[in-house]
Amino acid sequence: MDSNQITRDYFDSLLLETRYMEAVVPSITMELYGERFSSPIMTAALSHLKTLYQMEEEPMVGYARCAARTNSVHWIGMMEEEEVGQVIATGARTIRVVKPFADEDKIMRQLCHAEEKGALAVGMDIDHIFDRHGNPDVVMGEQMEPKSMQQMKAYVQATHLPFVVKGVLSVHDAVRCAEAGARGIVVSHHGGRLQDAVPPLMALPEIRRELGADMPIFVDCGVCSGMDAYKALALGATAVSVGRHLISYLKEGTDRAAERIEEMSRELKGIMASTGVRDVNSFDAAVLHHGGM
Protein backbone atom coordinates (compact mmCIF):
# COMPACT_ATOMS: atom_id res chain seq x y z
CA MET A 1 0.00 0.00 0.00
CA ASP A 2 1.05 3.60 -0.55
CA SER A 3 2.68 4.84 2.64
CA ASN A 4 1.53 8.41 2.07
CA GLN A 5 -2.10 7.31 1.91
CA ILE A 6 -1.64 5.08 4.97
CA THR A 7 -0.24 8.11 6.82
CA ARG A 8 -3.14 10.31 5.70
CA ASP A 9 -5.69 7.72 6.78
CA TYR A 10 -4.03 7.41 10.18
CA PHE A 11 -4.15 11.17 10.73
CA ASP A 12 -7.83 11.20 9.83
CA SER A 13 -8.66 8.21 12.05
CA LEU A 14 -7.78 10.17 15.19
CA LEU A 15 -10.73 12.03 16.74
CA LEU A 16 -10.70 14.62 19.54
CA GLU A 17 -12.72 15.09 22.70
CA THR A 18 -13.26 18.61 24.05
CA ARG A 19 -12.19 20.02 27.43
CA TYR A 20 -13.63 23.45 28.18
CA MET A 21 -13.74 23.46 32.00
CA GLU A 22 -10.84 25.58 33.33
CA ALA A 23 -9.59 26.14 29.78
CA VAL A 24 -7.44 29.19 29.02
CA VAL A 25 -6.22 31.06 25.96
CA PRO A 26 -3.24 28.91 24.97
CA SER A 27 0.31 29.88 24.08
CA ILE A 28 1.84 28.21 21.03
CA THR A 29 5.37 29.57 21.41
CA MET A 30 8.13 26.96 21.51
CA GLU A 31 11.67 26.89 22.88
CA LEU A 32 14.22 24.83 21.00
CA TYR A 33 17.99 24.68 21.44
CA GLY A 34 17.95 27.80 23.59
CA GLU A 35 15.84 29.93 21.24
CA ARG A 36 12.16 30.85 21.16
CA PHE A 37 9.91 30.40 18.15
CA SER A 38 6.38 31.53 17.40
CA SER A 39 4.94 28.07 16.78
CA PRO A 40 5.86 24.37 16.77
CA ILE A 41 4.98 24.34 13.06
CA MET A 42 8.22 24.34 11.07
CA THR A 43 9.25 24.03 7.44
CA ALA A 44 10.57 20.68 6.19
CA ALA A 45 14.01 19.76 4.83
CA LEU A 46 13.35 20.19 1.12
CA SER A 47 16.12 20.13 -1.49
CA HIS A 48 16.74 21.40 -5.03
CA LEU A 49 13.48 23.32 -5.40
CA LYS A 50 14.91 25.24 -8.35
CA THR A 51 15.23 22.02 -10.35
CA LEU A 52 11.54 21.25 -9.81
CA TYR A 53 9.72 24.57 -9.77
CA GLN A 54 10.02 27.85 -11.62
CA MET A 55 9.50 30.82 -9.31
CA GLU A 56 10.31 34.52 -9.42
CA GLU A 57 12.74 34.32 -6.51
CA GLU A 58 15.41 31.68 -5.90
CA PRO A 59 13.02 29.12 -4.37
CA MET A 60 15.25 27.89 -1.55
CA VAL A 61 15.87 31.49 -0.48
CA GLY A 62 12.17 32.31 -0.72
CA TYR A 63 11.41 29.22 1.33
CA ALA A 64 13.81 30.48 4.00
CA ARG A 65 12.28 33.97 3.97
CA CYS A 66 8.94 32.32 4.68
CA ALA A 67 10.36 30.78 7.86
CA ALA A 68 12.15 33.97 8.88
CA ARG A 69 8.96 36.01 8.51
CA THR A 70 6.97 33.63 10.71
CA ASN A 71 9.79 33.05 13.23
CA SER A 72 9.64 29.33 12.47
CA VAL A 73 12.41 26.75 12.60
CA HIS A 74 13.63 26.22 9.04
CA TRP A 75 15.03 22.94 7.68
CA ILE A 76 17.08 22.44 4.54
CA GLY A 77 18.34 19.34 2.80
CA MET A 78 20.76 18.64 -0.04
CA MET A 79 22.19 21.79 -1.62
CA GLU A 80 25.44 23.52 -2.47
CA GLU A 81 27.33 25.35 0.27
CA GLU A 82 26.80 28.72 -1.42
CA GLU A 83 23.03 28.19 -1.23
CA VAL A 84 23.29 27.23 2.44
CA GLY A 85 24.95 30.57 3.15
CA GLN A 86 22.23 32.43 1.23
CA VAL A 87 19.51 30.62 3.14
CA ILE A 88 21.01 31.30 6.57
CA ALA A 89 21.64 34.93 5.61
CA THR A 90 17.86 35.48 5.38
CA GLY A 91 17.73 35.27 9.17
CA ALA A 92 15.85 31.96 9.18
CA ARG A 93 17.04 29.81 12.08
CA THR A 94 18.08 26.85 10.02
CA ILE A 95 18.73 23.17 10.65
CA ARG A 96 21.03 21.83 7.93
CA VAL A 97 20.51 18.14 7.09
CA VAL A 98 23.31 16.43 5.14
CA LYS A 99 23.06 13.19 3.22
CA PRO A 100 24.86 9.98 4.26
CA PHE A 101 27.51 10.45 1.59
CA ALA A 102 30.10 7.75 1.01
CA ASP A 103 32.55 10.67 0.93
CA GLU A 104 33.30 11.21 4.63
CA ASP A 105 35.24 14.40 3.94
CA LYS A 106 32.20 15.90 2.24
CA ILE A 107 30.04 15.18 5.27
CA MET A 108 32.53 16.83 7.62
CA ARG A 109 32.91 19.84 5.32
CA GLN A 110 29.17 20.37 5.15
CA LEU A 111 28.72 20.06 8.91
CA CYS A 112 31.54 22.52 9.59
CA HIS A 113 30.35 24.94 6.92
CA ALA A 114 26.81 25.05 8.36
CA GLU A 115 28.23 25.77 11.82
CA GLU A 116 30.47 28.52 10.46
CA LYS A 117 27.50 30.15 8.70
CA GLY A 118 25.42 30.19 11.87
CA ALA A 119 23.01 27.28 11.57
CA LEU A 120 20.77 26.47 14.53
CA ALA A 121 21.58 22.75 14.30
CA VAL A 122 22.83 20.13 11.84
CA GLY A 123 21.91 16.55 11.13
CA MET A 124 21.86 13.59 8.77
CA ASP A 125 19.14 12.02 6.64
CA ILE A 126 19.61 8.28 7.25
CA ASP A 127 16.63 7.03 5.21
CA HIS A 128 18.39 7.85 1.93
CA ILE A 129 21.08 5.22 2.53
CA PHE A 130 19.57 2.57 0.22
CA ASP A 131 17.73 2.64 -3.09
CA ARG A 132 14.54 0.63 -3.57
CA HIS A 133 16.57 -2.47 -4.51
CA GLY A 134 18.69 -2.53 -1.36
CA ASN A 135 21.83 -1.08 -2.89
CA PRO A 136 23.60 2.06 -1.65
CA ASP A 137 21.62 4.97 -3.06
CA VAL A 138 22.86 7.52 -5.57
CA VAL A 139 21.26 10.95 -5.10
CA MET A 140 21.87 13.70 -7.66
CA GLY A 141 24.96 11.79 -8.76
CA GLU A 142 26.31 11.43 -5.20
CA GLN A 143 27.04 7.99 -3.74
CA MET A 144 25.50 7.18 -0.34
CA GLU A 145 26.45 4.44 2.13
CA PRO A 146 25.19 2.86 5.37
CA LYS A 147 26.67 4.39 8.52
CA SER A 148 27.98 2.66 11.63
CA MET A 149 27.46 3.80 15.20
CA GLN A 150 31.12 4.82 15.29
CA GLN A 151 30.61 7.06 12.26
CA MET A 152 27.45 8.62 13.69
CA LYS A 153 29.25 9.39 16.93
CA ALA A 154 32.03 11.04 14.93
CA TYR A 155 29.52 13.31 13.17
CA VAL A 156 27.97 14.29 16.49
CA GLN A 157 31.40 15.12 17.88
CA ALA A 158 32.46 17.05 14.76
CA THR A 159 30.19 20.00 15.60
CA HIS A 160 29.34 22.16 18.58
CA LEU A 161 25.76 22.37 17.30
CA PRO A 162 22.93 20.01 18.22
CA PHE A 163 22.95 17.00 15.89
CA VAL A 164 19.60 15.66 14.62
CA VAL A 165 18.96 12.37 12.84
CA LYS A 166 16.19 12.39 10.23
CA GLY A 167 14.40 9.28 8.98
CA VAL A 168 13.71 7.43 12.24
CA LEU A 169 10.67 5.15 12.21
CA SER A 170 11.34 2.68 15.04
CA VAL A 171 12.34 2.49 18.68
CA HIS A 172 15.35 0.48 17.48
CA ASP A 173 16.78 3.42 15.52
CA ALA A 174 15.62 6.06 18.00
CA VAL A 175 17.54 4.42 20.85
CA ARG A 176 20.68 4.13 18.75
CA CYS A 177 20.45 7.77 17.74
CA ALA A 178 20.31 8.73 21.40
CA GLU A 179 23.26 6.44 22.18
CA ALA A 180 25.25 8.14 19.40
CA GLY A 181 24.67 11.50 21.08
CA ALA A 182 21.93 12.94 18.86
CA ARG A 183 20.01 15.82 20.40
CA GLY A 184 16.93 15.32 18.27
CA ILE A 185 15.32 12.94 15.79
CA VAL A 186 12.83 13.31 12.96
CA VAL A 187 10.21 10.57 12.83
CA SER A 188 9.57 10.18 9.11
CA HIS A 189 9.25 7.77 6.19
CA HIS A 190 10.55 10.40 3.75
CA GLY A 191 7.38 10.75 1.71
CA GLY A 192 6.79 7.03 1.37
CA ARG A 193 10.18 5.68 0.25
CA LEU A 194 9.25 2.32 1.81
CA GLN A 195 5.97 0.74 0.78
CA ASP A 196 3.64 -0.14 3.69
CA ALA A 197 5.70 1.95 6.10
CA VAL A 198 4.31 2.54 9.57
CA PRO A 199 2.70 6.01 9.82
CA PRO A 200 4.97 8.32 11.83
CA LEU A 201 2.18 8.99 14.34
CA MET A 202 1.79 5.26 14.96
CA ALA A 203 5.47 4.89 15.82
CA LEU A 204 5.70 8.16 17.75
CA PRO A 205 4.20 7.31 21.18
CA GLU A 206 6.46 4.31 21.80
CA ILE A 207 9.51 6.29 20.67
CA ARG A 208 8.60 9.11 23.05
CA ARG A 209 8.15 6.69 25.95
CA GLU A 210 11.53 5.09 25.25
CA LEU A 211 13.48 8.36 24.85
CA GLY A 212 11.79 10.25 27.67
CA ALA A 213 10.45 13.77 27.85
CA ASP A 214 13.64 15.75 27.18
CA MET A 215 14.70 14.55 23.71
CA PRO A 216 13.32 16.77 20.92
CA ILE A 217 11.27 14.60 18.55
CA PHE A 218 10.09 16.12 15.29
CA VAL A 219 7.56 14.68 12.84
CA ASP A 220 7.12 15.15 9.13
CA CYS A 221 5.22 13.36 6.32
CA GLY A 222 1.73 14.49 5.44
CA VAL A 223 1.33 17.39 7.86
CA CYS A 224 -0.94 19.89 6.11
CA SER A 225 -3.11 21.54 8.78
CA GLY A 226 -3.15 22.77 12.34
CA MET A 227 -5.22 19.70 13.16
CA ASP A 228 -2.48 17.39 11.86
CA ALA A 229 0.06 19.32 13.92
CA TYR A 230 -2.14 19.02 17.03
CA LYS A 231 -2.42 15.24 16.70
CA ALA A 232 1.35 14.83 16.35
CA LEU A 233 2.02 17.08 19.33
CA ALA A 234 -0.55 15.26 21.44
CA LEU A 235 1.19 11.95 20.69
CA GLY A 236 4.59 13.21 21.79
CA ALA A 237 6.12 15.36 19.06
CA THR A 238 8.07 18.48 20.02
CA ALA A 239 7.27 20.12 16.68
CA VAL A 240 6.19 19.22 13.14
CA SER A 241 7.51 20.02 9.67
CA VAL A 242 5.42 21.02 6.66
CA GLY A 243 6.99 20.54 3.24
CA ARG A 244 5.03 19.45 0.20
CA HIS A 245 1.88 21.16 1.43
CA LEU A 246 3.71 24.50 1.43
CA ILE A 247 5.06 24.23 -2.10
CA SER A 248 1.83 25.23 -3.84
CA TYR A 249 1.65 28.30 -1.60
CA LEU A 250 5.33 29.06 -2.14
CA LYS A 251 4.72 29.14 -5.89
CA GLU A 252 2.28 32.01 -5.19
CA GLY A 253 5.06 33.85 -3.38
CA THR A 254 6.92 33.93 -0.08
CA ASP A 255 4.21 36.00 1.58
CA ARG A 256 1.51 33.49 0.71
CA ALA A 257 3.56 30.58 2.08
CA ALA A 258 4.20 32.54 5.28
CA GLU A 259 0.48 33.26 5.56
CA ARG A 260 -0.23 29.54 5.30
CA ILE A 261 2.10 28.76 8.21
CA GLU A 262 0.35 31.48 10.22
CA GLU A 263 -3.06 30.07 9.28
CA MET A 264 -2.03 26.60 10.43
CA SER A 265 -0.65 28.05 13.67
CA ARG A 266 -3.92 29.85 14.38
CA GLU A 267 -5.83 26.64 13.70
CA LEU A 268 -3.53 24.78 16.12
CA LYS A 269 -4.14 27.41 18.81
CA GLY A 270 -7.90 27.15 18.34
CA ILE A 271 -7.87 23.38 18.76
CA MET A 272 -5.66 23.66 21.83
CA ALA A 273 -8.14 26.09 23.38
CA SER A 274 -11.05 23.69 22.82
CA THR A 275 -9.21 20.72 24.31
CA GLY A 276 -7.77 22.31 27.45
CA VAL A 277 -4.14 22.55 26.30
CA ARG A 278 -2.45 25.58 27.88
CA ASP A 279 0.85 25.53 25.99
CA VAL A 280 3.08 23.30 23.88
CA ASN A 281 4.26 21.45 27.00
CA SER A 282 0.75 20.55 28.16
CA PHE A 283 -0.57 18.15 25.52
CA ASP A 284 -2.41 15.04 26.69
CA ALA A 285 -2.69 12.04 24.38
CA ALA A 286 -5.86 10.94 26.22
CA VAL A 287 -7.78 13.60 24.26
CA LEU A 288 -7.34 11.49 21.11
CA HIS A 289 -9.59 8.56 20.19
CA HIS A 290 -9.31 6.15 17.27
CA GLY A 291 -12.38 6.38 15.06
CA GLY A 292 -11.33 3.63 12.67
CA MET A 293 -9.34 3.68 9.45
Could you tell me the pTM of the whole model?
A: 0.96
Contact 41, 268 (CB under 8 A): yes
Q: What is the pLDDT of residue 55?
A: 56
106 falls within a domain: yes
User: What are 147-183's pLDDT values in tens digits?
Assistant: 999 999 999 999 999 999 999 999 999 999 999 999 9
Domain enclosing residue 271, as ranges: 3-279
Q: Determine the average pLDDT of the residues in 127-151.
A: 94
The region of weakest confidence among 80-89, 114-123, 208-217, 247-256 is: 247-256
Q: How many CB atoms lie within 10 A of CB 113?
A: 17
247 falls within a domain: yes
290 falls within a domain: no
Q: Work out how many domains the chain is built from and give that number.
A: 1
129 falls within a domain: yes
59 falls within a domain: yes
291 falls within a domain: no
286 falls within a domain: no
The region of weakest confidence among 70-74, 184-188, 201-205, 252-256 is: 252-256
- Residues labelled catalytic: 190
7 falls within a domain: yes
CATH number of the CATH domain containing 190: 3.20.20.70
pLDDT at 52 over 70: no
Tell me how far apart the alpha carbons of residues 13 and 292 are, in angstroms, rounded to a whole number: 5
Mean pLDDT of the chain: 95
| Range list of H helices, 46-124 | 59-70, 81-89, 104-117
User: What are 195-221's pLDDT values in tens digits?
Assistant: 999 999 999 999 999 999 999 999 999
Q: What is the pLDDT of residue 56?
A: 55
Q: What is the pLDDT of residue 192?
A: 87
